[in-house]
Structures are given as structure tokens and as C-alpha cells.
Chains A and B, each alone.
Chain A
Amino acid sequence: AQRVTQPEKLLSVFKGAPVELKCNYSYSGSPELFWYVQYSRQRLQLLLRHISRESIKGFTADLNKGETSFHLKKPFAQEEDSAMYYCALTSLYPMDSNYQLIWGAGTKLIIKP
């Protein structure tokens, strides 16, 4: 079955501490993985995607095909990182019938001062 699992519904860390939001997936094809973020009172937006290999707002995520994971990490959390984070995947090849985005249930990240 194709699935994205975010095992933590809620993650609370202190400002300045490292953050790791977990994402595991199950997918039969070649996946493209994303992290989306929803800040309070703002619309959902793309944070980063694995094919870009970018660091956005200090966050990075590495695709580990062996462990089928795409964990989101930041070495030093900031209060403005508090938000809802969603991991999602789709086919790397857009004409696949599995084009649809498959979403995790989301992790609410709270950064304590």
C-alpha cells in the first residue's frame, strides 16, 4: 500500500534545540517527496522538495531510500518555526497513474521560548 506516515502528531521543543520531524513512506515506484508547512492563519505552502536539495529557513530533508524516510531537520529551532508540517509524496514521473499526492497526517511543531 502507498502510504506516508508521520508518527508524531505533536512535537514540542525548546528554542535553540534541534528539531527532527519524522516521515516514513511506502511507495512502489520512484517517489518525489515534499514537506509542506502551514503557519498559523496562513495557507499551506511548500517548504521543500527532495529533488531540489535546498535548505529552506534552515530546514533540510534527506531522502533515505533504504529506510524509506524523509525526515525534516533543523539544528536550532526558532519560535517562528511553530506550525503544522505535512510530509507528502508523488510519483517522480508525472504521467504515472500514481500522480496524486499522498499525504501524511501532519505533525504540529511547537517551539517553546
Chain B
Amino acid sequence: DAEITQSPRHKITETGRQVTLACHQTWNHNNMFWYRQDLGHGLRLIHYSYGVQDTNKGEVSDGYSVSRSNTEDLPLTLESAASSQTSVYFCASSDLHGNTGELFFGEGSRLTVL
């Protein structure tokens, strides 16, 4: 079955370290998204991609970067982790033309920055 997986599921790191969260989907979806989930804020979009070599900033992109070298993967990198980036991160994908708006989510990656 097609799916979307994230790794690691849990990560503890120190301030200033570089961290990369992986996202891999086998839906063959064009669109991929990274969100962070925080109490009181719901889901906030970090970065998104509409296809290979395409990346775009979301509403909370500062301190994060992504790259899209193939259809399946959209890794999220925190260049220099900060305590404010402690959160749960969700990757999602969608097929724009086949299923407008419905997102398929990964299980989440809980990141703690000490």
C-alpha cells in the first residue's frame, strides 16, 4: 500500500545543531508539505513543494529549509536548531489534480531542542 513515512519519530538535540527530518511518500504525489503543530496554533505551514526542484516558503519558514530532488522525498533541515523549534512536525502529500485539497499525513516527528 502507498504511504508516507517520517523519520526519526522522536529526536532530542541541542541548540545550534543541524537537524534533518526525513519524509518519504510512495503515493507518487506531486505536492508535499511540512507543517509544525503547536498547542494554540494548530498546523502552521513551514515549506511546500509542487514538484521536483520546486520549493516554496510557508508562513513560518525562518530557520528551516527543504529540497526536492525527486518525487518521493522532501527532507526538512533545521540549519541551527533553536528552542523555539521544539514541536511536532508533520509531513503531508497530495495529488492536486486527482484529489483537490485532501492531504495524506505522516505520523509526525517530535523534536525537542534543549
Give A residues with C-beta under 8 Å from B. 6, 9, 32, 34, 36, 42-46, 49, 86, 88, 90, 92, 94, 99-101, 103-106
Instruction: Say yes or no: A46 contacts B102, CB within 8 Å.
Output: yes
CB neighbours (8 Å) of A99 from chain B are 96
Residues on B lying within 8 angstroms of A by beta carbon are: 40-45, 48, 90, 92, 96-97, 100-103, 105-108
Instruction: Classify the interface of chain B: helix, strand, loop or mixed.
Output: loop
Secondary structure at chain A's binding surface: helix, strand, loop or mixed? Answer: loop
Q: Which residue of A lies closest to B97 (CB)?
A: A94
For residue A51, which residue of chain B has the nearest CB? B100
Let me know if B42 and A106 touch, CB within 8 A: yes
Cross-chain contact A34 with B107 (CB below 8 angstroms)? no
Residue pair B101, A103 in contact (C-beta under 8 Å): no
Give Cα distance in the complex from A103 to B106, angstroms.
Answer: 17
Residues A44 and B42 in contact, CB atoms below 8 Å apart: no
Q: How far is the CA of A36 from the CA of B102 in the complex (A)?
A: 9
Which B residues lie within 8 Å of A49 (CB)? 101-102
Complex A-B: 8 CB contacts under 8 Å:
A9-B40, A32-B100, A44-B90, A46-B102, A49-B102, A86-B43, A101-B101, A105-B40
Query: Which one, A32, A44, A103, contacts B105 given CB within 8 A?
Result: A44
Contacts A46-B102, A94-B100, A101-B45 aside, 9 further interface pairs with beta carbons under 8 A come to A6-B42, A32-B100, A34-B102, A43-B106, A44-B92, A46-B103, A86-B42, A105-B40, A106-B42
Q: Is the CB of A90 within 8 A of B105?
A: no
Given the contacts A86-B42, A103-B43, A104-B42, A45 and B100 also touching, CB distance less than 8 Å: no
Cβ–Cβ < 8 Å partners of A36 in chain B: 103
Q: Give the shortest distance, in Å, between B47 (CB) and chain A (any CB).
A: 12
Task: Please give the distance in Å from B26's CB to the nearest CB on chain A.
Answer: 15
For B100, give its contact among A42, A90, A103, A104 (CB under 8 Å): A90
